[in-house]
Structure 1
Amino acid sequence: MPFDALIFDLDGTLADTMPAHYVAWRSTMEKYGITFDEDRFYALGGKPSDKIVELLAGEQGIALDPHTVAIEKEEAFLLEISNVAPIEATVELVYEYRGRIPMAVATGAMRYVADLILGHIGLSNHFDACVTSEDTARHKPYPDVFLEAAKQLNVEPEHCRVYEDADLGVEAARRAGMEVVDVRNFFTPRRITVS
């Protein structure tokens, strides 16, 4: 391993959560008359839920409290968590390198949701650090989440390798000066057809 630390995104990288997240997004947004198609959903991968709500509501001229609606969306997602599975190719890396080099999760998820997902896929206590949306002021595509993970691991950014599945996250890792592996090169998330 030519790196001193590994940093993993969570949704779509360690856990196949994206279909469940999209079901939750669709049901929540429909209540407020907000449209959110699946392609746009994937394009915004890595952005915290409250920022997505704020963006969509602003674009569609709907007044609401982004934080409250984001919590509602996360609660809807938790109803779908039984449909979440680990992404074996990246989870195998966690098992292979656990205890050998420092590892972190760097995610746009809220901490309580990240903890529940990691527990659901059997990866609680497998990481030396977990940086969530609450831990940085700026989010992907800004590099802050990855830089904070490197700081917590006590490893220089240029000695970290990141695993990511979204354009915003890939850009954030590059801005952090880290090598990034785009997991979409070996894993394609399931798509949802919602009428």
Structure 2
Amino acid sequence: MKTTTRNAAWGPRPTRCCGTGSTTPIYRSATASISIRSTPLKALYSQETKSRSCAKNTLLVLNEEELVIRAILWDNDGVLVDTEGLYFQAGREVLVTQGVELTQEDFVEQSLQKGQSVFDLLPNQDAELIDRLRLQRNARYSALLRERVRVLDGVVETLRTLHGRALMGVVTGSRKDHFDIIHAQTNLLPFFEFVVAREDYKQAKPHPDAYLTAMRLHGLEPETCVVVEDSERGCAAAAKAGLRVLVVPNELSQHGDFSPAYKVLGSVREVVDEVDQLR
């Protein structure tokens, strides 16, 4: 897959301003100046109850002109880990019990492009039935995740390179229980300062609520962030929130409409160069 040209609608690239010459941003908390460090975090989820205390200790760039990109916001499924196929499998197995064959094309359109439920394809839209089937799908998905989760190629080296150069967080449509199962086996969480999971916001992607919530809770502005997504719905969500979006499509999501993206990349490894050029 070739890298496309960046979206001209974003205008000229920002230039790096002169200053200390350091490539490691220094941040100020309410009590001291610190550099972001590689510290394993036990609890990363963004909670409303934590937001007030976080606001008092919001990391602020010492000199805004020395850092254009302050935060990198990562999608989870399909960007960091290869889980979308497992979600498709779980949904297909449950829908077939109702006489509905969920094809890969149906899944891509409903879930990865429109951001809608595959249960909308059921001829019987009885709410109690759908709730029961959703529980079955979620349980099956959990079981599949426990069997195997693969970190996508290039992710570890990319996160290692970027860690400490900007705040990094995960903004995902995954439920917390699924997210925990996934990352119990990936060793990726120490790279991130926070996680915004599905329970942390009201409206799912492609609505911008997930990204708006992440920025609100962590004192971020759209012009100082960049997003890494893989799907049409994720790209749309970030763009609607006013964010630059770097899209790294995968086999399932590659035929989506990524016209709102700042740039479509051929590999997650290219994120490093893009962030460097935006700094």
By the TM > 0.5 criterion, same fold?
yes
Which letter does structure 1 place at the counterpart of 2:135?
I
1:52 is aligned to 117
User: Using the alignment, how far apart are the partners of 2:86 and 2:154 within structure 1?
Assistant: 20
User: Using the alignment, how far apart are the partners of 2:127 and 2:120 within structure 1?
Assistant: 11
Larger Rg: 2
Q: Does 1:63 align with 2:126?
A: yes
Identical-residue share of aligned pairs (%): 27
2:101 is aligned to 35
With over 3 angstroms needed to count, the CA separation of the structure-2 counterparts of 1:53 and 1:40, relative to structure 1, is closer
1:174 is aligned to 239
Which letter does structure 2 place at the counterpart of 1:18?
E
Query: Does the residue aligned with 1:120 lie in a helix, a strand or coil?
Result: coil
Q: Deviations over 1:150-171 (max 9, x none)?
A: 2233211222111111111111
Query: Does the residue aligned with 1:45 lie in a helix, a strand or coil?
Result: helix
Instruction: Check whether the contact 2:196–2:210 (CA below 8 A) recurs between aligned residues.
Output: yes
Instruction: Check whether the contact 2:91–2:118 (CA below 8 A) recurs between aligned residues.
Output: no
1:193 is aligned to none
- The Cα shift of 1:27 comes to 0.7
Moved more, 166-175 or 30-39: 30-39
Say which structure is richer in helix. 1
With over 3 angstroms needed to count, the CA separation of the structure-2 counterparts of 1:118 and 1:47, relative to structure 1, is farther
Between the two proteins, the alignment pairs up a number of residues equal to 184
With over 3 angstroms needed to count, the CA separation of the structure-2 counterparts of 1:134 and 1:46, relative to structure 1, is farther
Computed over aligned residues only, the root mean square deviation of the Cα atoms, in angstroms, reads 2.4
User: Using the alignment, how far apart are the partners of 1:10 and 1:76 within structure 2?
Assistant: 19
Query: Does the residue aligned with 1:79 lie in a helix, a strand or coil?
Result: helix
User: Using the alignment, how far apart are the partners of 1:9 and 1:136 within structure 2?
Assistant: 15
User: Using the alignment, how far apart are the partners of 1:72 and 1:119 within structure 2?
Assistant: 22
With over 3 angstroms needed to count, the CA separation of the structure-2 counterparts of 1:125 and 1:74, relative to structure 1, is farther
- The Cα shift of 1:86 comes to 0.6
Identify unmatched segments of 5+ residues in structure 1: 191-195
User: Using the alignment, how far apart are the partners of 1:91 and 1:47 within structure 2?
Assistant: 29
| Aligned partner (choices 90, 96, 110) of residue 24 of structure 1 | 90
Instruction: Check whether the contact 2:73–2:225 (CA below 8 A) recurs between aligned residues.
Output: yes
- The Cα shift of 1:147 comes to 1.4
Which letter does structure 2 place at the counterpart of 1:108?
G
Give TM-score scaled by structure 1 length.
0.82
Identify unmatched segments of 5+ residues in structure 2: 1-66, 254-279
> What does 1:1-195 align with in structure 2 at a 5 Å threshold?
2-43=68-109, 44-45=111-112, 52-57=117-122, 60-65=123-128, 66-81=130-145, 82-184=147-249, 187-188=250-251
Instruction: Check whether the contact 1:46–1:140 (CA below 8 A) recurs between aligned residues.
Output: no
Which letter does structure 2 place at the counterpart of 1:128?
E
Which letter does structure 2 place at the counterpart of 1:121?
T
Instruction: Check whether the contact 1:94–1:126 (CA below 8 A) recurs between aligned residues.
Output: yes
Q: Deviations over 1:69-119 (max 9, x none)?
A: 223212211222233211133343322222332111111111110122122
- The Cα shift of 1:47 comes to 7.4
User: Using the alignment, how far apart are the partners of 1:16 and 1:94 within structure 2?
Assistant: 16
Which letter does structure 1 place at the counterpart of 2:108?
Y
Q: Deviations over 1:6-48 (max 9, x none)?
A: 1111111110112211111111111223332111212212877
